Amino acid sequence: MQNSWRFLYIHLTLLLALLLNVMPLPAAVKLFRPDWPLLVLCYWVLALPHRTNIGTAFMLGFLVDVMVGTVLGVNAFGYSVICFVVAANHLKIRNFSVLQQSLLVGLLLALYHLVVFWLSHFLTGVYFRAAYLWPVLTGMIVWPYIFWFLRRTRRQFKIQ
Amino acid sequence: MKPFFDRGPSLPLRLFIALLCSVGLITLDHYTDSSVQLRSYLTATVSPLFYLANMPQDMVFGASEQFMSQQKLIEENSRLKDTLLLQNGQLQRLQFLQQENDKLRALLGTSPVTEGQRLIAEVLAVYSHPFSHQIVLNKGSKDGVTNGQPIIDDLGVLGQVVSVGPSSSRALLIADNTHAMSVRVERTGLSAVAEGIGQSDALRLIHLPHSTDVEVGDRLLTSGLDGVFPEGYPVAQVIKVQRDARQPFLQVLAEPYAKLDRIRYALLVWPHRGTSQVDPQILEEMTPPEQGQD
């Protein structure tokens, strides 16, 4: 398979995650929507840190900002921070079991939401509600599936 | 094993650059005025993604309409006809009242209130992020949409347009933290400022003294004082009044009439001619979509 197509697959999954992030959902389940782009990004940084790195994270975060309507740069900031933590510890995290990874991902998601909340609070004065943290839990639940799916397809397409 | 990060700057340096860029972006977006233009371009660039993300929902709705039984369609049709008849009847009465009102205003020597144009827009995306209550509409500058234009639906005021691309635009909902609007209590005529608090089911009336006459159930209408929303549209209903002497002001919460978390269609309103910020040329160029019914 061509090398360029392999790159494309990474970007394709990130794009799909972006679409999932803005797809209209009923109001009842909207608060529970996991942070798809961040989870997919975490996987790619974990698996191929020399391909997807802080640059990708920044651009993805910027796109999320544009599509979600937060102040430009807020999500880019959060994504870069999380990507840094994952990239700096990728060798350790890889050795964890999926369950342990899931817990760690929950911690990272909480950190991300905290960073975004702090910035938004500082900029636009939003108020905190515990319901904002639901995506942390749903993110932890979907992480094993994302991990399994992306690893399978990555091995299938021999992306390295 | 491949050496990681063999090319380019080290990891902390990359993080530093990314954070610097983020802070630069935040500053640019939040503290300068150039961001409105920038946002418009960006909205236009990503609008194909919104169309894509909307496709599954459109298909589901399309399929459900396709497979609706004829019986149901006939029922719906007759119900809609009844509604139309009723509303047309009310419109005739309204027209008469409008004329009368204009005459009375002419007698008083004030300028008549003219009805602006309207345009129906479909909602491409309702923002899911709790910190930003915004929607993306499928109408843009090609359709004559301008910044600051109010949007409403059949129940009440939704918000205002904040950035316009060629074929899509972004509107801030009244529930957003950064949104505030001028309202009037229908019963007493009292003016107040209604501020969003980031929840789709509540607004807050700010800076009202304890002696203010506000009760649960009061209707809040737009006052027209903010120069954005035309006068007289329903906004919200007061649901909670808390007189706590320890607080400097009265704590009043109101629930918006419009269901802000499940918007599918929105009505773009062009404010009254004369006082509007809309270029009059655009208004003239536009063909009124609903002239036959007016």
Any idea which residue has 């929507």 for tokens?
A33
Tell me what percent of the residues of chain B surpass a pLDDT of 90: 29
Whether B6 has a pLDDT exceeding 70, the answer reads no
Instruction: Provide the 3-class DSSP secondary structure of residue B139.
Output: coil
The ipTM, to two decimals, is: 0.86
What confidence score (pLDDT) does residue B7 get?
A: 63
d(CA B168, CA B184): 31
Label residue A103 by pLDDT band (50, 70, 90): very high
Count Cα atoms within 13 angstroms, Cβ side, for B174.
34
Non-local (6+) Cβ contacts of A111 within 8 A are A81, A82, A85
Whether A154 has a pLDDT exceeding 70, the answer reads yes
Of B90-99, B106-115, B218-227, B252-261, the range with the lowest mean pLDDT is B106-115
Whether B158 has a pLDDT exceeding 90, the answer reads yes
Can you name the residues that pair with B256 across neighbouring β-strands?
B236
The answer to whether A58 touches B20, Cβ cutoff 8 Å, is no
Can you name the residues that pair with B119 across neighbouring β-strands?
B268
Label residue A128 by pLDDT band (50, 70, 90): confident
Residue B176 DSSP symbol: S
Mean pLDDT over all residues of chain B?
82
The answer to whether B122 touches B137, Cβ cutoff 8 Å, is yes
Mean pLDDT (whole number) for B141-158: 89
Mean pLDDT over all residues of chain A?
89
Label residue B271 by pLDDT band (50, 70, 90): low
Chain A residues with CB under 8 Å of B18 CB are 54-55, 57-58, 76-77, 80
Report CB contact under 8 Å: B197, A87: no
Kind of pairing, strands B180-185 and B219-222? Answer: antiparallel
Mean pLDDT (whole number) for A102-111: 95
Please give the residue range of the domain that contains residue A103: 3-157
Question: Residue ranges per domain, chain B?
Answer: 70-172+262-285, 180-256
Q: Read off the pLDDT of residues B209-257 as tens digits, 9 standing for 90 and up.
A: 988 899 999 999 999 888 888 888 999 999 999 988 898 899 999 999 9
Evaluate whether B70-172+262-285 and B180-256 have a shared fold. yes
Instruction: State the total domains in chain A.
Output: 1
Chain B residues with CB under 8 Å of A53 CB are 5, 11, 14
Chain B residues with CB under 8 Å of A26 CB are 262
Report CB contact under 8 Å: A124, B200: no
Backbone angles phi, psi at B140, to 5 degrees: -135, -155
Q: CATH homologous superfamily for B70-172+262-285?
A: Rod shape-determining protein MreC, domain 1 (2.40.10.340)
A68 touches chain B (CB under 8 A): yes
Mean pLDDT (whole number) for A48-67: 90
Tell which wins on pLDDT, A125 or B281: A125
Chain B residues with CB under 8 Å of A116 CB are 131
What confidence score (pLDDT) does residue A82 get?
A: 95
Return the residue in B132, B138, B161 with the most chain A beta carbons within 10 A, the one to mutate for interface testing: B132
Mean pLDDT (whole number) for B92-108: 85
What confidence score (pLDDT) does residue B274 get?
A: 43
The answer to whether A149 touches A157, Cβ cutoff 8 Å, is no
Structure tokens at B54: 């909307």
What confidence score (pLDDT) does residue B205 get?
A: 93
Three-state SS letters, B62-89:
HHHHHCCCHHHHHHHHHHHHHHHHHHHH
What confidence score (pLDDT) does residue B257 get?
A: 93
Label residue B65 by pLDDT band (50, 70, 90): confident
CA-to-CA separations, B108 to B62, B96, B102, B112, B225, in angstroms, rounded: 53, 18, 10, 10, 21
Which residue, A90, A115, A119, A118, is CA-closest to A104?
A90
Can you name the residues that pair with B267 across neighbouring β-strands?
B120, B152
Label residue B111 by pLDDT band (50, 70, 90): low
What confidence score (pLDDT) does residue B282 get?
A: 47
CATH 2.40.10.350 fits B180-256, yes or no: yes
Whether B18 has a pLDDT exceeding 60, the answer reads yes
Label residue B72 by pLDDT band (50, 70, 90): confident
Residue B142 DSSP symbol: G
> What chain A residue is nearest to B126 in terms of C-alpha separation?
A24
Structure tokens at B236: 């919200």
Which residue, B188, B25, B157, is CA-closest to A74?
B25
A116 touches chain B (CB under 8 A): yes
d(CA A93, CA B128): 30
